[in-house]
Structure 1
Amino acid sequence: MTITCTMQSASFVVSESEIRTTIEQNQSLISDVQRGEEQYSGSLGWLDVRAQKIDELVRVANRVNQIAEVMIVIGIGGSNRGAVAALQVLKRTSSSPTTLYFAGDTLSSTCLADALAVIEHNSVVLNVIAKDFNTVEPGITFRMLRSAMQAKYGTDFEQRIIVTGSKGSGQLYELAQQHGYTYLPFPADIGGRFSILSPVGLFPLAVAGVDIQNLLKGAFAMQQKVRTIQGIGNPAIGYAILRSLIRKKGIILESLVTFEPDLQHFTRWWIQLFAETEGKTDQVLFPIGFSYSEDLHAVGQYVQQGPRILLETFLDLHYAETNCMIKPSNDVVDGFSYMDGKPFSLLNKAVYQAALEAHSKDGIPCIELNSDCSLNAESLGGLFYFFLFSAYLSARLLGVNPFDQEGVEQYKRNMYAGLGKSGYTK
């Protein structure tokens, strides 16, 4: 997969010479990031995808396919968002006897009831994912669903529980050892939002029939490019530097703009990746997402004539196109005869160009990330890796630690106190 970072529609805000100068000024840091900084070695397990071994994942996935109609994946945030995103993109090219059902990402009692109904009416396996297993949503959901599994399957229920957790420590690992649950590793040197290309994301996708070997193949191909190519010809460097410079011009929001509804969960994954990785300073872009053309009918007016605080990053991917031609309407005059004989896929391309031109000409800086490949498991792996590396580099350009997220702990302390957890007070 090749990604090109096209900067022309942002040139009125940041010139190419500024980009090149900034790259030169930060060359030492960029090279350190490409190698993997020693100070963050405990968080860089994702940087070389060749470290990921999949034989055991495939073996366990095959067993799940033999015994379960549904696998309920219990996790939140980085523990499940990547798999949700990949499954939405690849659902038309993946087949499996086992359907994935995602739970543990909300405290809604209605959603809990829905998950319990899945257990009641289907043969089920649980896969609970957590690095530390102290987060309320997956923790309490696992308790409730585990109880339902025991009631349904009796003494055999433990054979239907798979835990993905930190090896050698933590409650999940201890539970697996005590009760004989199948155990898969949540690598100690990979954080949740960086975990899609680890067992955390790969195992559920293997159960769903995704070709995880090709996913990793595409990721490795992208790894070789972004970790070796120097200068503005490296799309990840260009993207990270351009984002940094645009923020310094007073822009405070970045929207990832996609043109396929199947990328909506990918956008949510991207939002978490950049929000948690960079969000430790007031000099950071706030990540949001638009799905065009639909959102042009919701936020298009604001984008066109609202305050100039927005950067749009257009994700231009070659989706598998159907041979659907627009036929003339001979019986009804509907006002759309100017489209007669055109391929339906042309409409999305026309909207892409129209929005890009209208917004950039009215003062909205736009970055284009263009791909030359159809979106499949291999190219999606490359896309995941591109953004993982870009987020790492972007955070380092800001001077922040890409791998912590201390800011989320405050609300948790308040919640624990409100729920009466020992050691917490308001």
Structure 2
Amino acid sequence: MITCDIGFARKFIKDDEYLKARRKADMALDQLKNKTGPGSEWLGWRDLLADPNDAEIEEISSLGEEVREKADIFIVCGIGGSYLGAKAVIEALTPHFGSKGPEILFAGHHIGGKYLEELMAYLKEPKEDGSPKNIYVNVISKSGSTLETALSFRLLRELIEDLYGDDASEHIICTTSKEGGLLNKVIKEKGYRKFIIPDDVGGRYSVLTPVGLLPIAVAGIDVRTLLYGAVSAYNRYKENTEDILEYAALRNAIHETGKTIDVFATFEPELSSFGGWIQQLLGESEGKEGQGIFPTVATYSTDLHSLGQFIQQGQRSLMETFIIVEKPFSDLEVNELEGNDDELNYLAGKSFHEINTKAREGTIEAHSEGDVPIVKICLSALNAENIGELIYFFELLTGIFVYSLGVNPFNQPGVEDYKKAMYRLLGKH
């Protein structure tokens, strides 16, 4: 279950400012529901929850289990929405150390030569028993021509073909558009297995399609429970969207006061990469036409020792959105130490969850008193169902908020500018 509390931020906004922003949020929700806003042809992320494809979920789950049993390494090759959602869910729901199943690695999300060279060397190294590693690659790209992903896939494809010869097609899985694009030509020639990215779902909204679900399944996470958590949220928010409308209106009103930064903060290190997914979802959706609040990510209490001073007393240009997990998922307690030479016995018998909770509550209190508007997004527990719900919560929030700014939430024209300059400098014709 997800709840949203804007109480710590509402006091920073005058009633008339909030009511004006709320009217904009209400109209934005109507645009989404009625598909009357700009970019409405990209609302497939809502449609797939209205009518879940159970057969595809079963196919993904089955292949995920197959790869999980066979692979030593599974490589997700993609950039932006093609990997951030999967990475976020996997890191939220799998152990930090000693996970069962294949080692999941990421490539295609930058052009770092050192990383790629070391990755290729690592893949070629034998296991401790002297046998070769069993490697699978999932390349994810609608067009097949995104430079970062295509370059990495060129290296990985050559390696897989060298290692497995005629069986290489069993080790490469492509997730791409139904038709067209360079990747489909390669699939047709090589016979690689394929999953389809729906034409009406953009990259940053694609985590609940095969884009994210296949890597998540390989990680051993129940993708059906994840997806149906989002379906549950979709059905609930059809009846009552008050939480999201309040948050969208608050964000719009804060935007109008000149706030330029939203720090997405968590005291749970498991959710750090989820913050990265939110950062792309909002950043690529709202940051256009001179509009938007810059989304950034902080993991506390670590970043209280790097950004805390600025957040507490720096320029008053920011707000904070805390993502909170209420139910503890560790029973670890502080022990009594004879001699108390570290002077921590006052914490003896307390759980680390309790200490972490007090650190969070103290931080929220201090930052609020330091004139930082704070929103709290609370998960009852950290599990697949709630993460699925949280995904849809932020997808819907993004659509409503960005429409309330008067811009298209589903395009990214500015991304093409760097590509044009890069390709020109590289001599592409």
Classify the TM-score, shorter chain: over 0.9
Aligned mates of 1:246, 1:206 — CA distance in 2:
39
The residue that corresponds to 1:106 in the other structure is: 110
TM-score norm. by structure 2 comes to 0.92
Choose the corresponding residue for 1:381, options 388, 392, 406.
388
Cα pair 1:33 1:393 within 8 Å, conserved: yes
The residue that corresponds to 2:9 in the other structure is: 10
Cα pair 1:75 1:104 within 8 Å, conserved: yes
In the alignment, does 2:402 pair up with 1:399? no
Choose the corresponding residue for 2:420, options 409, 413, 420.
413
Aligned mates of 1:409, 1:25 — CA distance in 2:
29
Show the 5 A alignment for 1:79-158: 79-92=82-95, 96-121=100-125, 122-158=133-169
Residues 178, 255 of structure 1: CA spacing in aligned structure 2 closer, same or farther, 3 A cutoff?
same
In the alignment, does 2:222 pair up with 1:222? no
Aligned mates of 1:319, 1:161 — CA distance in 2:
39
- Residue type of the alignment partner of 2:273: H
Cα pair 2:37 2:403 within 8 Å, conserved: no
Show the 5 A alignment for 1:246-285: 246-285=254-293
Residues 409, 17 of structure 1: CA spacing in aligned structure 2 closer, same or farther, 3 A cutoff?
same
Cα pair 1:75 1:129 within 8 Å, conserved: yes
Aligned residues: 417
SS at match of 1:227: helix
Deviations 1:30-75 (CA, angstroms, capped at 9, x unpaired): 2232454475342111113234431221232233234321111110
Aligned CA-pair RMSD: 1.9
Choose the corresponding residue for 1:169, options 180, 191, 200.
180
Residues 350, 17 of structure 1: CA spacing in aligned structure 2 closer, same or farther, 3 A cutoff?
farther
SS at match of 1:47: helix
Aligned mates of 1:408, 1:21 — CA distance in 2:
32
The residue that corresponds to 2:304 in the other structure is: 296
- Residue type of the alignment partner of 2:61: V
Aligned mates of 2:416, 2:349 — CA distance in 1:
57
Cα pair 2:28 2:401 within 8 Å, conserved: no
Aligned mates of 2:363, 2:88 — CA distance in 1:
25
Cα pair 2:74 2:137 within 8 Å, conserved: yes
Cα pair 1:36 1:47 within 8 Å, conserved: no
Q: Percent identity?
A: 35
Choose the corresponding residue for 1:200, options 211, 216, 220.
211
The residue that corresponds to 2:338 in the other structure is: 330
- Residue type of the alignment partner of 1:376: N
- Residue type of the alignment partner of 1:246: I
Cα pair 2:93 2:384 within 8 Å, conserved: yes
- Residue type of the alignment partner of 2:124: E
SS at match of 2:375: strand
Choose the corresponding residue for 2:378, options 370, 375, 379.
370
TM-score norm. by structure 1 comes to 0.93
Residues 32, 227 of structure 1: CA spacing in aligned structure 2 closer, same or farther, 3 A cutoff?
farther
The residue that corresponds to 2:32 in the other structure is: 33
Residues 165, 357 of structure 1: CA spacing in aligned structure 2 closer, same or farther, 3 A cutoff?
same
Aligned mates of 2:202, 2:355 — CA distance in 1:
40
**Farther off after superposition, 63-72 or 294-303:** 63-72
**Farther off after superposition, 281-290 or 327-336:** 327-336
Cα pair 1:95 1:210 within 8 Å, conserved: no
Deviations 1:127-168 (CA, angstroms, capped at 9, x unpaired): 100011221111011111111111111222122111100012
The residue that corresponds to 1:359 in the other structure is: 367
